Amino acid sequence: MHYAEQEYVTGCFPKIALAAGMLFLTAGEGPTNRLFALGRHLAQECTSCHRPDGPSAGGIPCIVGRDPKYLVEALQMYKSGQRTNPTMASVAQSLDDEQIEALARYFASLPKRGGGNASAEKGGPTAQR
């Protein structure tokens, strides 16, 4: 091997090792990170009504820090028509299962601040709209 080739290979090694290390460190987290990023992106639309810092005006519940299973179930019910609210039905019908899961995981990961909406938390009229 010529000196120039040897220097090139030696110079590339740290970059290759770094890339391999990053791949190894993130290999097990790929789908989770991707779902979280998707949820964060989609949540921008949700937070115009569902404020992340507490209940919104008009009885719209705060959904941060909620159980992800509850959020998935609620969106699926809006999507199927089991829960009736024109706005939420329209939103839920535009989401596929992966997007619903991503939103649920994202909102569940956020710390709950302020008061919740007791009616929504107990499945009252607000939750059914």
* Domain range annotation of the chain: 30-128
Which residues have CB under 8 Å from 112's CB, separation 6+?
Answer: 62, 64, 65, 66
Task: Please report which residue ranges of 47-85 form alpha helices under DSSP H.
Answer: 68-80
Q: Which superfamily does 30-128 belong to?
A: Cytochrome c-like domain (1.10.760.10)
pLDDT digits (tens, 9 = 90+) for 7-36: 555 555 555 544 444 444 444 456 679 999
Q: Mind listing the pLDDT tens digit for each residue in 39-94?
A: 999 999 999 999 888 777 788 999 999 999 999 999 999 999 999 999 999 999 99
Contact yes or no for 68/102 (Cβ under 8 A): no
Confidence at residue 121, expressed as pLDDT on a 0 to 100 scale: 45
At what angle are helices 97-109 and 30-46 packed, to 10 degrees? Answer: 90
Give the span between the Cα atoms of 57 and 27, in whole angstroms: 42
